[in-house]
Amino acid sequence: MTAPVAGASTPQLQGSPEIALTGATGFIGTTLITHLTNAGWRVRALYRPRSGRVPPNLPGVEWFAGDLNDAAALNTLVTGTHAVIHCAGAVRGASRADFDQVNEDGALRVSQAAARQVHTPRFLLISSLAARMPELSHYAGSKWRGESAIKATAENLRWTVLRPPAVYGPGDRELLPLFRSIANGFAPLPAGANGRFSMIYVEDLAVAVVCWLTEDTGYGQTFELDDGRVGGYNWDAVLEIGGRVLRGGASVRRVPIPIPLLNLAAYTNLAAARLLGYAPMLTPGKVREITHEDWLCDNREFTQVTGWQPAFGLEQGLSLIFNKNIATLQEIL
């Protein structure tokens, strides 16, 4: 559990209404809990019980055991709440079904539970910018289908969809390995990858969610949001900033991985995952995602509607990850 940092100022709330949160045990959900409770919300958080797992005892948080395929547990979770933040999602998987069961069917079940309440809670879906390109991968398609499912759930559901781009911060498992390599002076990247992409620091995303709650607005709308850097990033920019923040200005060597080799690794990993039964991150679909040329977005619309402003660019975000605590620094190095 991380403490919010100076710069990402969380709007404060009068009273103490309850909200339901799924995905509370994940990378983004963990930061969300901190910001929501700091803003005065009482959080009913879903967790999947498993052997040895004891959810942390946190002020303002009540834990509910359950899975997204358990309609009764979801009904209990959302009962009496003012809003539902649906952040749970599958970010790894071997098949379309792996993703759809969670990102489409799960989203539908949570939204149906919300719509069934006498006082229908407001509903926020944490989708992904990937939903903009559903044909690219099973993940992207499932996020798009999840959005469609919640939009079609019921007329009385006041839904909003947020589509973050790449989210990074303490606890992230996708970009942290790259930052670790950058800190060590090299960066394995797809050969010729030249696309532009937006990013967002996890604390800024959490503050955006609190702003949505506080402003009580944006229903029936889908928003993209990023860190506000005009034109986003390309890998050269990430390596330049990473070299400056993580290496005191020393250069970072780009190690090009030929795309056929990356695909070979992805197909091998996918086959191994199917054989051994684990959820793979590197798959052919993931390669198509990371080599896609345009993951740029901007937050003007969301800012206009909620007043939210991002506080951290990559430079600040990386500095924070490093200075945040010694454990994180040691983890990176």
Q: 88 near 45, Cβ under 8 Å?
A: no
Stretch that binds ligand NAP, among 16-24, 150-158, 221-229, 252-260 (CB under 6 A): 16-24
Q: Which of 2, 10, 25, 34 binds ligand NAP (CB under 6 A)?
A: 25
Q: Which two tokens stand for residue 63?
A: 């834990």
DSSP for 140-177, written as a single string: HHHHHHHHHHHHTS-TT--EEEEE--EEESTT-SSSHH
Stretch that binds ligand NAP, among 166-174, 252-260, 280-288, 304-312 (CB under 6 A): 166-174
Q: Given the structure tokens 């009385």, which residue do they identify?
A: 156
If one asks whether residue 32 binds ligand NAP (CB under 6 A), the answer comes out as no
3-state secondary structure of 103: helix
201-212 in b/e form (b: 16+ CB < 10 A) is bbbbbbbbbbbb
Q: Which of 8, 43, 102, 124 binds ligand NAP (CB under 6 A)?
A: 102
If one asks whether residue 190 binds ligand NAP (CB under 6 A), the answer comes out as no
CA–CA separation, 20 and 28 (whole Å)? 15
If one asks whether residue 166 binds ligand NAP (CB under 6 A), the answer comes out as yes
CA–CA separation, 23 and 29 (whole Å)? 5
Q: In the bound complex, what is the minimum distance in angstroms from residue 157's beta carbon to ligand NAP?
A: 18
Q: In the bound complex, what is the minimum distance in angstroms from residue 247's beta carbon to ligand NAP?
A: 24
Q: In the bound complex, what is the minimum distance in angstroms from residue 166's beta carbon to ligand NAP?
A: 5
* Paired sense of beta strands 18-22 and 83-86, if any: parallel
Q: Which two tokens stand for residue 320?
A: 């924070």
Q: 65 near 110, Cβ under 8 Å?
A: no
Per-position x/- string for 126-165, each x denoting binding to ligand NAP as judged by CB under 6 A, each - no binding: x-x--------------x--------------------x-
Q: Which is nearer to ligand NAP, 28 or 287 (CB)?
A: 28
Q: What are phi and psi of 267, to 5 degrees?
A: -65, -40
Q: Which is nearer to ligand NAP, 96 or 247 (CB)?
A: 96
CA–CA separation, 112 and 152 (whole Å)? 10
Spatial CA neighbour of 238 closest among 284, 206, 193: 193
Q: Which of 90, 94, 210, 282 binds ligand NAP (CB under 6 A)?
A: 90
Residue type, 293: E
Question: Which 267-286 residues touch ligand NAP, going by CB under 6 A?
Answer: none
Q: Which two tokens stand for residue 28?
A: 């983004």
Q: Which is nearer to ligand NAP, 24 or 36 (CB)?
A: 24
Per-position x/- string for 55-74, each x denoting binding to ligand NAP as judged by CB under 6 A, each - no binding: ------------xx------
If one asks whether residue 113 binds ligand NAP (CB under 6 A), the answer comes out as no
If one asks whether residue 28 binds ligand NAP (CB under 6 A), the answer comes out as yes
